[in-house]
């Protein structure tokens, strides 16, 4: 495996593959956005910080990236919560959407090119559902329109399940479906959040929302689709089935990237355990740079733990990094000519080491080690450099640190 080539773990093939940028040079990337019925929490931060780091590194390598994220503002959970609060569902959703965008900004996530609401794309979803019925892979029943899973033999490939196993996973219980594994494309509702369609009033299923939005903006096929690993089944499996059954173009997405789970003090974060930490609360106790540093101490695919103790340790390590950087910046360059060549070597060695780590499926923990070693070395020998070399070293360090976003 060459360290010069970016290798990414593709959930679809279950192995690391060389990342090939498309011929026009623009990497098209879609990440599943939040369902906006409440404040976003650290589980969301895990995914969105991971993809922020991925985008920043792709740009560091010189790629252009078109990064799209959907906003799920049409969903059962929103309708239910709005009903309890006696609120209009879309009003409620857009309030939490605004809070979400604020939290993303608070985390220093700045590279999403476009956020697209499900409610603004209903006609595109209706068109896709109609297309799937025409292809004979979807059917209408009393309660809605369903995708008939057995008509798409590749279903189960992403999550590694056989057709028999799929039949045992009884999702979306509904007596009007032909088969238990079929999933909804359209649900009929006479009131509430609903739109007119050829199948009566109702609203789209979650899976078709994302397929319709991403294909309308990024095209029938694109490069990267990301999300939390818990979305692999059934959500992403369904997305592949919808897109490929509709267009016949394979693969729908070339690289599927998934982030690991986040636990709080070793336990799953959940409302019933009362240990849900909102992003805005975490940002009250920690700066964005501190949170970004802490999240980067875990590889994006491995499970991570959030605990006050561990965060405190990470914060003191970040402090060491900054102290060394400031010490280096404060040194008066002596300009010893015999040191310049050696220093150029130190800089290029650090850059090579940084790329080697990040090229290995975005290994941020390894990249942090490289940054620590680099700045320690700079602090040690900074006073022997000339001004030009010092500036070069500082720029190099900042460029790499900015991929992780730990200096601002």
The minimum distance between CB 408 and Zn ion, in angstroms, equals: 30
Instruction: Tell me the CB-side half-sphere exposure of residue 318, using CA atoms within 13 A.
Output: 25
- Work out how close the CB of 231 gets to Zn ion at its nearest, in angstroms, rounded to a whole number: 6
Q: Which is nearer to Zn ion, 32 or 358 (CB)?
A: 32
Cβ neighbors of 80 (< 8 A, separation 6 or more) are none
Question: Cβ(364)–Cβ(52) under 8 Å?
Answer: no
Strand partners, 187: 144, 203
156 vs 382, which CB is nearer to Zn ion?
Answer: 156
Task: Please report the DSSP string for 142-199 in residue order.
Answer: SSEEEE-GGGSTTTTTTTT--HHHHHH---S--TT-SSTT-EEEEEE-SSSS-B--TT
Smallest CA-to-CA distance from 156 within 183, 138, 134 is with: 183
Nearest CB to Zn ion, comparing residues 6 and 246 = 246
Beta carbons of 54 and 362 less than 8 angstroms apart: yes
CB 226, min distance to Zn ion, A: 9
When binding is defined by CB under 5 A, the residue of 7, 29, 32, 289 that contacts Zn ion is 32
> Does 68 sit near Zn ion (CB under 5 A)?
no
- Minimum CB distance to Zn ion smaller for 257 or for 288: 257
Give buried/exposed letters for 237-258 (b at 16+ CB in 10 A, else e): bbbbbbbbbbbeeebbbbbbbb
Closest to Zn ion by CB, 32 vs 393, is 32
Binding mask 149-188 vs Zn ion (x if CB under 5 A, - otherwise)?
----------------------------------------
CB of 371 to Zn ion, least distance (A): 33
Q: Which stretch binds Zn ion (CB under 5 A): 77-85, 203-211, 330-338, 355-363?
A: 203-211
CB-based contact 269:276 (threshold 8 Å): yes
Q: Which is nearer to Zn ion, 32 or 68 (CB)?
A: 32
Q: With CB under 5 A as the contact rule, which of the stretches 28-36, 213-221, 325-333, 394-402 interacts with Zn ion?
A: 28-36
Which residue number has the CB closest to Zn ion? 32
| Angle made by CA atoms 204, 206, 207, in degrees to the nearest 5 | 105
What contacts 184, CB < 8 A, 6 or more positions away? Answer: 144, 145, 146, 147, 172, 174, 205
Q: Min. distance of Cβ 232 from Zn ion in angstroms?
A: 11
Closest approach of Zn ion to the CB of residue 355, in Å: 31
- Given the rule CB under 5 A, which of 17-25, 29-37, 78-86, 287-295 is the region that contacts Zn ion? 29-37
Selected range binding Zn ion among 154-162, 202-210, 274-282, 315-323, rule: CB under 5 A: 202-210
What gap in Å lies between CA 393 and CA 371, rounded to an integer?
12
Q: Which of 73, 182, 210, 244 binds Zn ion (CB under 5 A)?
A: 210
Query: Backbone phi, then psi, for 141, in 5-degree steps?
Result: -130, -175
Q: Is 4 exposed, middle or buried (0-12, 13-18, 19+ CB in 10 A)?
A: exposed
Residue that is written with structure tokens 């700066």 in the block: 287
213 or 282: CB nearest Zn ion:
213
Piece of the chain touching Zn ion by CB under 5 A; list 30-38, 277-285, 288-296, 389-397:
30-38
For residue 321, give Cα distances in angstroms to 172, 182, 214, 282, 383.
50, 53, 40, 22, 18
* Number of shown-chain residues binding Zn ion (CB under 5 A): 2
Which H or E run contains 226?
A: strand 222-228
Closest to Zn ion by CB, 75 vs 364, is 75
Residues that bind Zn ion (CB under 5 A): 32, 210
């Amino acid at each position: 495996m060459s360290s010069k080539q970016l290798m990414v773990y593709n959930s679809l093939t279950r192995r690391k593959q060389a990342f090939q940028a498309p011929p026009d040079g623009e990497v098209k990337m879609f990440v599943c956005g939040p369902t906006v019925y409440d404040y976003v929490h650290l589980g969301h931060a895990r995914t969105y910080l991971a993809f922020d780091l991925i985008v920043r590194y792709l740009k560091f390598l010189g790629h252009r990236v078109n990064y799209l994220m959907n906003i799920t503002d049409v969903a059962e959970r929103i309708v239910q919560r709005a009903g309890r609060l006696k609120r209009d569902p879309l009003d409620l959703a857009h309030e939490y959407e605004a809070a979400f965008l604020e939290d993303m900004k608070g985390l220093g996530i700045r590279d999403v090119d476009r956020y697209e609401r499900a409610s603004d794309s209903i006609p595109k979803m209706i068109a896709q559902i109609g297309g799937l019925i025409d292809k004979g892979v979807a059917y209408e029943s009393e309660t809605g329109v369903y995708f008939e899973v057995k008509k798409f033999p590749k279903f189960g490939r992403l999550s590694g399940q056989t057709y028999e196993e799929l039949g045992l996973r009884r999702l979306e219980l509904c007596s009007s479906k032909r088969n238990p594994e079929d999933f909804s494309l359209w649900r009929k509702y006479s009131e509430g959040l609903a739109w007119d369609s050829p199948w009566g009033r109702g609203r789209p299923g979650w899976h078709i929302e994302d397929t319709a939005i991403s294909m309308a903006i990024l095209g029938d096929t694109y490069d990267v689709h990301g999300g939390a690993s818990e979305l692999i089944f059934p959500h992403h499996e369904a997305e592949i089935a919808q897109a490929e059954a509709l267009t016949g173009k394979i693969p729908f997405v070339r690289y599927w990237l998934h982030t690991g789970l986040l636990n709080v003090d070793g336990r799953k974060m959940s409302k019933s355990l009362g240990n849900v930490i909102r992003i805005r609360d975490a940002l009250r106790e920690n700066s964005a740079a501190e949170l970004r540093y802490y999240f980067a101490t875990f590889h994006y695919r491995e499970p991570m733990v959030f605990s006050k103790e561990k965060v405190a340790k990470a914060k003191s390590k970040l402090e060491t990094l900054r102290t060394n950087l400031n010490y280096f910046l404060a040194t008066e360059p002596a300009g010893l000519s015999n040191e310049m060549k050696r220093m150029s070597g130190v800089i290029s060695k650090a850059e090579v080491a940084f790329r080697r780590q990040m090229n290995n499926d975005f290994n941020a923990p390894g990249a942090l080690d490289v940054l620590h070693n680099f700045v320690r070395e700079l602090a040690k020998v900074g006073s022997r450099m000339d001004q030009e070399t010092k500036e070069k070293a500082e720029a190099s360090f900042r460029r790499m640190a900015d991929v992780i976003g730990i200096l601002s």
